[in-house]
Amino acid sequence: MSTQPKITIATAWLDGCSGCHMSFLDLDERLIELVEQVDIVYSPLVDTKELPEQVDVGILEGSISSEDDLEKARLFRERCTLLVSLGDCAVTGNVPAMRNHFKLDAVLDRAYRENVTLQPQIPTRSVPALLTPVKPVHGEVKVDVFVPGCPPSADAIWAVLSELIAGRAPDPNAVTRFGA
Amino acid sequence: MPRPTPQPNVRVVTLRIDDRDLSAREDETLIEVCRENRIPIPSLCHLDGLSVWGGCRLCMVEIAGQGRLVAACSTRVAEGMTVQTDTERLRHYRRTIVELLFAERNHVCSVCVSNGHCELQSLAQRCGVDHVRLPYRQTPYPVDSSHEMFRLDHNRCILCTRCVRVCDEIEGAHTWDVMGRGSDCRVITDMARPWGESETCTSCGKCVQVCPTGALVKQGTSAGEMVKDQHFLPILARRRHAQ
């Protein structure tokens, strides 16, 4: 084990399907190699409840669709030295942004009234308000690295993380693309 | 610009492209010479076998001594010409053009039938577009599914007019045209009637095969299944000109 302080990584899941986090887990045995070099200090994959004050690399999956997404994105930008948009939802808005073609009321009606048989109602308590329009992460905060893909493959995530850990600027376009 | 008819006694010119000395027939365009010599030039509207359109502006190149950029697809070679195809300025413009295309309509690759077989998608990757810096317009466009074999999704149309040209020049049906201006511009069948009601369409599918994106596709394809096959075009185009 090296005595150098480990690089800290935080991840969050905004409006996405979690597929990018699943793809991250698809690193399989490389995860062991990864945790020798980094500390995952905050993530849906670990139990920490609070984002630490200072994190080296922040990774966001998903688009900004709600007040909660926006708050998380701003907090990540504030506390992370480097911010990564992981996957098409974070990079382009992707599928969540397809609701931008409709009025928000119509979208809510479709999901919570028209297609529901039991107690159709719009949820209002304990859920963050939805924003209009849905935006990619860089539509709200400055993003340093963009990793497109739906989801980016484990190999692409590995290539990007390896470059970041080595202190180099990654070239995600060499390993992934929109819709990959 | 009509396709140049091969002439029996064409002269050969020499020119310099990206610091390489090359020779070409004087009736060739810059993009043809570049493709022959494996110099990559991005383009979306140009397709070998169709007339030159010069609309997408992705094949812009720099010619020494000229301040303005020229489209490689619509510029003939000339003796002593010095051309640069991959400068910082050109990369900047190309990237911006691709981003504008993505921002204008709705190109959501992950749910597109042409995912993985799309020229716009692969061009974005090659031009270094890893995100779109402009806000998306988020304006929905109609989808015409009235044809029993094919479907037209205006959301994914980049107005390259390959469909218009292949239908007119190769199939000879001239079902397609372009209507409207600016962001209202769209391709139409017959007099902007639903495609399925077209009296001129022969259902040959050439437009579908030459479409660079998922705008024109076969009915019944789902995400990633629409693989295009353009092998017919150079063969038919050659025969047409041999007549």
CA distances from B1 to A78, B54, B73, B75, B165 (A): 55, 9, 10, 10, 12
- CA within 13 Å, CB half, B212: 22
What is the set of domains in chain B, with CATH numbers?
12-86 (3.10.20.740), 91-229 (3.30.70.20)
Under DSSP, is residue B209 helix (H, G, I), strand (E, B) or coil? helix
CA distances from B88 to A69, B43, B50, B61, B94 (A): 36, 17, 30, 11, 10
Distance from CA of B126 to the nearest CA of A (A): 7
Helix (H) or strand (E) holding A78: helix A67-79
Chain B contacts of A61, Cβ < 8 Å? Answer: none
| DSSP class of A167 | T
Q: What is the pLDDT of residue A2?
A: 52
CA distance A72 to B167: 51
Q: By the 8 A CB rule, do B220 and B153 touch?
A: no
Nearest Cβ partner for A88 among B110, B128, B139: B110
What is the set of domains in chain A, with CATH numbers?
7-97+133-174 (3.40.50.700)
Nearest CA in chain A to B123: A177
Say what the ipTM of the complex is: 0.92
Inter-chain contact B109–A93, Cβ cutoff 8 Å? no
Q: How does pLDDT run across B5-23, given as a tens digit for each residue?
A: 666 678 999 999 999 999 9
Nearest Cβ partner for B130 among A100, A146, A150: A146
How many CB atoms lie under 10 A from the CB of residue A2?
7
As a whole-number percent, the residues of chain B with pLDDT over 90 amount to 86
Chain B contacts of A138, Cβ < 8 Å? Answer: 131, 133
Residue A1 has pLDDT above 60, yes or no: no
Strand-pairing partners, residue B17, are B20, B83
Question: Among A35-39, A52-56, B225-229, which stretch is predicted with the lowest mean pLDDT?
Answer: B225-229
Strands (E), chain B: 12-17, 20-25, 60-63, 70-71, 82-84, 143-144, 150-153, 176-179, 186-189, 216-218
CA distance B42 to B58: 6
